[in-house]
Amino acid sequence: MTGTEVAADAALVLGGRGFARGRAVVMAVVNRTPDSFWAGARQLDDDVALAALDEAVDGGADVVDVGGVKAGPGEEVGEQEEVDRVVGFVETVRARHPRVVVSVDTWRAGVAEHACRAGAGLVNDTWAGHDPDLVHVAARHGAGYVVSHTGGARPRTRPFRVTYGHERDGVVTDVVRTLATGAARAVAAGVDPRSVLVDPTHDFGKNTWHSLALVRRTDAVVALGHPVLMALSRKDFIGETLDLPPDDRLEGTLAATAIAAWQGATVFRCHDARATRRALDVVAAVRGDLVPPRALRGLA
């Protein structure tokens, strides 16, 4: 689909594809890394990555987010190695599933430049503009851009005794202010406002109480007026809340997903596309945004 085919009333535009208001978008994760925090998402091997890709698309993924560096501390990955891990796979996704939007998860403008040339339609800047040129890469290629919040944390670092003032939900105030500033900068750089996503970025620069507060107050982020991305999948705040390892965090993830979707979040980055799609569809049906494809009970 080309940009000229996007409906004028589309609430979200990514990679030339428009998404209508009221329909949540599933963003599946493909980690081209050997050391992701969850063993089920270590997809550096090409065959493993392709199988994960096909399963995600079959499960209802609209977007595939391709990353080449583990978010947390770990082995150093240079820019060229990140390019080698990511760019060829972006090309593969575009050829294999042309209707799927490809996102690149990177904080490096050089990686994003190569990925956008290869067909990526979204730049997922998970480290809050650490490289100030990243947003300009997205704008230059007509790609979407994710504005994130890390509380000033540097890439691949863990939070330590981070605070956001003394008010009960001080983190919410800080997140909303930071995302509003970042979104305005992205629009000023030339990114379509409908292609600017805002992400409160749970766990990054936050403790579990902060992340729970941000799920509870999803509405405050939605009120910014940009599509909201929620990256909740199997994260530590889910694990600490339930006292469970990553393997056992799906149900908690889906509960948080439903709460955020009910409040108007738009895009959900996840490791479990089929389960997420089903959870979001039930939320949409309850809200009245989705007509059940089969509703015979009590009628036949």
pTM for the whole thing?
0.95
Q: Which of 42, 85, 269, 277 is catalytic?
A: 269
Ordered alpha helix ranges (H), the chain: 46-58, 79-96, 109-117, 134-141, 170-189, 208-216, 218-222, 236-242, 250-262, 273-287
Report yes or no on 10 lying in a domain: no
pLDDT at 4: 44
Residue 24 dihedral angles phi and psi, to the nearest 5°: -70, 150
**Above 70 in pLDDT, residue 5?**
no
Report yes or no on 3 lying in a domain: no
Report yes or no on 299 lying in a domain: no
Least confident among 138-142, 166-170, 227-231 = 166-170
Which tens digit of pLDDT belongs to each residue from 248-265? 999 999 999 999 999 999
235 included as an active-site residue: yes
Average pLDDT over residues 227-244: 98
The CATH number covering residue 230 comes to 3.20.20.20
Report yes or no on 4 lying in a domain: no
Report yes or no on 295 lying in a domain: no
Confidence grade of residue 3 (pLDDT, cut at 50, 70, 90): very low
Residue 14 carries which DSSP code?
E
Q: Which domain holds residue 110?
A: 24-157+166-287
- To the nearest whole number, what is the mean pLDDT of the chain? 95
**Rounded alpha-carbon distances, angstroms, from residue 253 to 12, 242, 268:** 24, 11, 11
Report yes or no on 150 lying in a domain: yes
H-helix or E-strand spanning residue 145: strand 144-148
Confidence grade of residue 2 (pLDDT, cut at 50, 70, 90): very low
Burial letters 271-286, b for 16+ CB under 10 A, else e: bbbbbbbebbbebbee
**Above 50 in pLDDT, residue 176?**
yes
Q: Which of 85, 94, 235, 249 is catalytic?
A: 235
Least confident among 99-113, 137-151, 152-166, 269-283 = 152-166
Structure tokens at 62: 């609209």
pLDDT at 67: 97
Domains of the chain: total? 1
Report yes or no on 172 lying in a domain: yes
Confidence grade of residue 168 (pLDDT, cut at 50, 70, 90): confident
Report yes or no on 5 lying in a domain: no
What share of the chain has pLDDT > 90, as a percent? 94
pLDDT at 224: 98
**Above 80 in pLDDT, residue 281?**
yes
Helix axes 273-287, 46-58, angle to 10 degrees: 20
Which tens digit of pLDDT belongs to each residue from 94-140? 999 999 999 999 999 999 999 999 999 999 999 999 999 999 999 99
Structure tokens at 291: 């007509």
